[in-house]
Structure 1
Amino acid sequence: NEIEVRRVDDDTRVKMIKDAIAHLDRLIQTESRKRQASFEDIREEVKKSADNMYLTIKEEIDTMAANFRKSLAEMGDTLNNVETNLQNQIAIHNDAIAALRKEALKSLNDLETGIATENAERKKMYDQLNEKVAEGFARISAAIEKETIARE
C-alpha cells in the first residue's frame, strides 16, 4: 500500500484553494442565514412575548383603574350618605337644642314671674307690717301722751 503522491502545479493549487475558499464562503453564508433566521425567530418570539406581556399588563392596569374608579364612586356614595346622615343628625340636634332653649326660656320667664310675684307679695306684707307697726307706735304714742297729760 503505497501512498501515491501527485504533484500539482501552482495554477491547480491556486484553483483548489479558491474552490475551498468559495466552499467555505457558501458554508459561512448558509450558517449565517440559519443564524439570521434563528435570530429572526427569536426576535419574533421576544416581540410576541413582549406584546402579550404588554396586553396582559394593560388589561390588569385597565381592570385596576376600573376597580379604583368604582371604589371611588362607592366612596363618593358612602361619603354622600355619611354627609346626609350627619346633616340629619345636626338637624335633629339643632331641633333638640331649639326645644331645650325654648323650654329654658319658658322656665326662666316662669321663674322671673314667680320672683316678681313673690317680691310683690313681700312688699305688700312689708307695707302691711309697716302700717301695723305705725298704728302700734301711734297707739303707744297716744297712750304715752295720755299718761303724760294725766300725770301733769
Structure 2
Amino acid sequence: EVRRVDDDTRVKMIKDAIAHLDRLIQTESRKRQASFEDIREEVKKSADNMYLTIKEEIDTMAANFRKSLAEMGDTLNNVETNLQNQIAIHNDAIAALRKEALKSLNDLETGIATENAERKKMYDQLNEKVAEGFARISAAI
C-alpha cells in the first residue's frame, strides 16, 4: 500500500532532512575543526619541544665552549707562568755565571798583577846583582 504524502508534509520532511544534513555538516565541520585544532596543537607542542631541545643543546654547547675557553685561559696562564719562572731561573743562572766570570777575571787580573810584581821584583834584584857584579868587576879592574 502506497501512502500519499501531501505537499506540506513533503516540504516539512525536506526541511527536516536539510536541517539534519546541516547538523551533520556542522558536526562534521566541528570534528574537522577540532581535529585541525588538535593537529595544530600537536604541531605547536612538537615545535615547542624541538625549540626547547635545540635551545638546551645550544646552551649546553655554549657552556661547554665557555668552559673550554676558561680552561684554555688557565692553561695559557700556567704556560705563561711556567715560562716566566723558567726565564727567571735562566736569568738567575746567567747572573750567577756572569758574577763567577767577573770574579775569575778579577782573580786572573790580580794573579797577573801579582806575578808581574814578583817578576819586576826578581828583575830588579837581578839587575841589582848584575850591577853589584859589574861594580865588583870594575873595582877589581
TM-score, normalization by structure 2: 0.65
Deviation at 1:8, TM superposition (A): 15
Q: For 1:99-137, what per-residue CA distance to the aligned partner results, in whole angstroms no more than 9, with x for missing partners? A: 211111111110010111111122222333333444455
1 CA distance for matches of 2:74 and 2:58? 24
Deviation at 1:17, TM superposition (A): 12
Deviation at 1:36, TM superposition (A): 4.7
SS in 1 for 2:29: helix
Larger Rg belongs to: 1
Greater mean deviation of Cα atoms: 24-33 or 51-60: 24-33
Deviation at 1:54, TM superposition (A): 0.8
Deviation at 1:55, TM superposition (A): 0.4
RMSD between superposed Cα atoms in Å = 4.4
Deviation at 1:40, TM superposition (A): 3.5
Deviation at 1:7, TM superposition (A): 16
18 and 136 in structure 1: CA distance in 2 versus 1, 3 angstrom threshold: farther
135 and 8 in structure 1: CA distance in 2 versus 1, 3 angstrom threshold: farther
137 and 16 in structure 1: CA distance in 2 versus 1, 3 angstrom threshold: farther
Deviation at 1:88, TM superposition (A): 2.4
Percent of aligned pairs sharing the same letter: 100
Unaligned runs of 5+ in 2: none
Greater mean deviation of Cα atoms: 41-50 or 114-123: 41-50
Greater mean deviation of Cα atoms: 134-143 or 75-84: 134-143
**Alignment size in residue pairs:** 140
Deviation at 1:95, TM superposition (A): 2.0
Deviation at 1:24, TM superposition (A): 9.2
Equivalence for 1:98: 95
Greater mean deviation of Cα atoms: 134-143 or 111-120: 134-143
1 CA distance for matches of 2:15 and 2:130? 162
8 and 142 in structure 1: CA distance in 2 versus 1, 3 angstrom threshold: farther
Unaligned runs of 5+ in 1: 144-152
